[in-house]
Chain A
Amino acid sequence: MKTEKPRWSAARAEEIEALRRRYPTDHALLLPVLWMAQRDFGWISHEVMELAAETCRTSPAHVYSLATFYTMFELEKPIRYHIQVCNNLSCSLTGSEGILAHLEKRLGIRAGEATADGRFRLTAVECLASCGTGPAMQVNDAYYENLTLETVDALLEEWMK
């Protein structure tokens, strides 16, 4: 379903033009522009891909290939809390499997799913470079480290208010 055509704000357009001067090709603006788009519009819809393509003077198909290659671009409408639990070796050695299972139980979903009210999505992710402070998770832009079941419960209480 098509949504209203997204547009850059004047301030953002100015920022993009300033950034354009730092790169010898318009193509190189793609990743920064997609980040800005995700910040401004919440997610990367097909319409946002068209805007990014226009801004970077490339094809929407190319933008699509990028947006789907990099895992941090949200291709669905955003949820309030995206909980990403590190599933790699160091975090697993320090108990991340238990943290993930506890979150699955508390939220009533499996990793890879979102709650019915759209507030939480739970994902098992690869190394967050928090190996020395594992088990760790990233929730939106923030890292939570040295997790225990108690700290996870305390965070959930806060977010569920």
Chain B
Amino acid sequence: MIYLDNSATTQPKEEVIQSFQLASSQFFANPSSIHPLGGRVEKLLRTAKQQAAETLGVRSEEIIFTSGGTEGNNTAIKGIALEHGQRGKHIITTEAEHPSIYDTCTSLENLGYRITFLPVDENGLVSVKQVEEAIEPDTILITMMYVNNEIGAIQPIEAIGTMLKKHPKVFFHVDAVQALGKVPLKLTGSGIDLCTFSGHKIHGLKGTGMLFVEKTTTLFPLMHGGNQEYGVRSGTENVAGAVSFVKALRLVMEQYKQNIQHLTHLNEVLRKGLSELKDIVIHSSSNGAPHIINFSVLGVKPEVMIHTLSEKEIYISTKSACSSKELDESRILIACGKSREEAISGLRVSFSYDNTVAEVELFLKELHNAIKQYKEALG
């Protein structure tokens, strides 16, 4: 099997599963229970949080464990909107967002919020200037993804964060789900107030994730209850999930430090191979994240490509997995100014550190065969 759909989900690492299993079976008590068993579990949870904080260079109290990216984005956006709505009702985002940002923002329109969806250029990028010009006196939040899940575009997060230091009342939320472990990430002093992470994109388990909330930032909680996670996310903590997430986080950051060139190399090999094939348009910019390449095979239905490759046990995807069941074009590719033909035929290859050059070469060969086969069949 050649698995090239790592932006949809990654295979959990053995160590992560073991960690989940061990934590579930041995540290099963409720961390809020007052007896010693509860105490042990609470300590484990706190140690996990400390380790996550150290890995990302932030404070323990700035970490909220969540169920993943969608929850993180919802908690951040709705949390800011509802908590600070008195001060203003304007939110800025982009046209190239994942549905968990895009639709969350749209949903707030029904509650009287105004959303500015900034257009992106052909590479999927907004500029710092665009963002700054969109700021109005009642703007409370800017929310956007760091690395685009469909095309790998890297937004100028650092520059926007720096610019926003001039606008201290505007909160800045970054969805770093596709960025974690793949591109540089600095939270302290970056101007970022909230940042979303997800476990299953970094070889962790589905249903695990984390939200960074800068210590002076207050949120209206989506869930009320027992005041867990500083009251921002009530509900008995998913200790095993949190612990396994922190393990996955540590492992991916180690890989990032030691092995990022490997991803870059895979990217180059794939790009070069694709450019040698006929009728292929690469949509991802070479300045994007190394692990995502989006392209179209002109005149070939993308679903056909996916099924043909699947027969050889090669797995890639069309646009993002979260919306691949919808039949229409990719909203992201349209936002980047691609033609409809290109926007309905986007294919996405996404790597993990475990993919090899041999796999990429085999994929290229099979892609070539598949295109040939399809064209022959159609005459």
A binds B: no
Interface residues of A (CB under 8 A from B): none
